[in-house]
Structure 1
């Protein structure tokens, strides 16, 4: 099959519109339409249902789109490897991690990466879903568990724990619990035990609510939990990587905490020699070393 026609088909299927696909390809709508008709004739099938609100793939169109999507990802990977053979660090780097870690730890530190590599553009993809790195849904990931795929290069960055924190003003008004039997008189701020989170956090939340907690605020990410805690709403379940950037947090019941949660950086084997990956890996490693040093100083 003609790759130009497949490329145009993929753009139309992705945009759902001849006009929008033409704009992205710098072709007229009529030129795009001719290429789609020629592809349908060569395959002797209909690839799109046409209607007033746009184009919808037929069953045969879905099959072809799956194939062109896989081809596009492989071409993107090859293109990235070719670009990364240069000495300069530039272009787009897609980084995926959790909402909490990405918004509260990683994003505030990215200015130092941009200072070093002004031509690097980071696409920070924050979600709890684990993206497929070998299929190029992202270039590099920071995950709260060791990746299971064999074709990934992985590096353990650090371990974190979930702990209880509150603002000093909240504790002055409501008292400082010293043991879990006293926690029931306080509002607990946390993620719902059934929401997407690390298993250690899930276990800790369930254990807290075994102590007859009657007042709570549930938030579906740690950024929201943090905002509630620093605004004096109660005692929050938060990761301890926050303590260096939010020194106003006061730990409550220090001997009550989760088990260790390992934090790994991972990227596909095929990007082993990527200058962008190397630059990001080294930057994160340096930031983790600085974080560990600051955390030790705060604990002393």
Structure 2
């Protein structure tokens, strides 16, 4: 099968347009069309339905696109390994983690990574969805549960608990609850029960949201919950990693906390020798060590 035709087919299938595919490949629309027609003739099938809104893959086209997508991922992995054979750390590294952890813990620390590796390009993919690392949907993952996929190298980084936080201004205005009973009389801000979240936090928070109160607030990510807390809308259920160094937050009813949520770093076995992955892994481990040291110092001052 003609590899060049497959490359052009994959580009067209990606964007659903001969014109846009031609632009990305630096080919004319007619040249792209000829290659697709030649591939269809060679396979004796129709690969696309022509539609007013663009091109739609046929069933046979979907099968071929699945194969070319896998080929593209394997080619990207091979390219990464080849580039990693050089001394310099550079190029794209796709990192996936949750919206909360990525926004509130990881992103604020990334300047130190870029200072060390200015030619490294991080593609930070914030999503609650578990992406398929072995299929190279991402290169590295930081997950708030132990990865279950096979052929992954994994390392437990730290443990997180969900706790209740209020702003200093909220406590000044409404008082600081010291018991669970007093806490129940305040507006609780937390994840909606049907929003993607860690099971430990969901189980712990549900009785508070189910309590008899007329005005709770639910948000589908921790960044939104934090903003609501900072603006004194109520008392928020947040991961404890956000409180370190944030003088505006007050941990109310410290005895209330979720069970442990483990945080893991994971990446595919085939990237074991990747310099980019190694650079990111060492950066994260250094930041975790510094975080734990600061956390221990703060606990001694309490």
TM-score (norm 2): 0.97
Aligned Cα root-mean-square deviation (Å)? 1.0
Compute the displacement of 1:111 (Å): 0.4
Cα-to-partner distance string for 1:235-293 (whole Å, 9 max, x where unaligned):
00000001124232100000110111100000000000000000000000001111111
In 1, the alpha carbon distance for the partners of 2:199 and 2:112 equals 32
Aligned to 1:79: 79
Gaps of 5+ in 2: none
Compute the displacement of 1:52 (Å): 2.6
What is the SS of the residue equivalent to 2:176?
coil
Is the 1:243–1:295 Cα contact (8 Å) retained in structure 2? no
Gaps of 5+ in 1: none
Map 1:186-201 → 2, pairs under 5 A: 186-201=186-201
In 1, the alpha carbon distance for the partners of 2:220 and 2:96 equals 18
In 1, the alpha carbon distance for the partners of 2:265 and 2:213 equals 36
Is the 1:48–1:57 Cα contact (8 Å) retained in structure 2? yes
Map 1:116-195 → 2, pairs under 5 A: 116-195=116-195
Is the 1:49–1:55 Cα contact (8 Å) retained in structure 2? yes
Is the 1:113–1:283 Cα contact (8 Å) retained in structure 2? yes
In 2, the alpha carbon distance for the partners of 1:246 and 1:96 equals 25
Is the 1:16–1:54 Cα contact (8 Å) retained in structure 2? yes
Aligned to 1:237: 237
Is the 2:229–2:236 Cα contact (8 Å) retained in structure 1? yes
In 2, the alpha carbon distance for the partners of 1:184 and 1:260 equals 23
Compute the displacement of 1:15 (Å): 1.0
Aligned to 1:268: 268
Is the 2:209–2:216 Cα contact (8 Å) retained in structure 1? no
Aligned to 2:114: 114
Is the 1:145–1:263 Cα contact (8 Å) retained in structure 2? yes
What is the SS of the residue equivalent to 2:253?
strand
In 2, the alpha carbon distance for the partners of 1:163 and 1:191 equals 13
- State how many pairs are aligned: 300
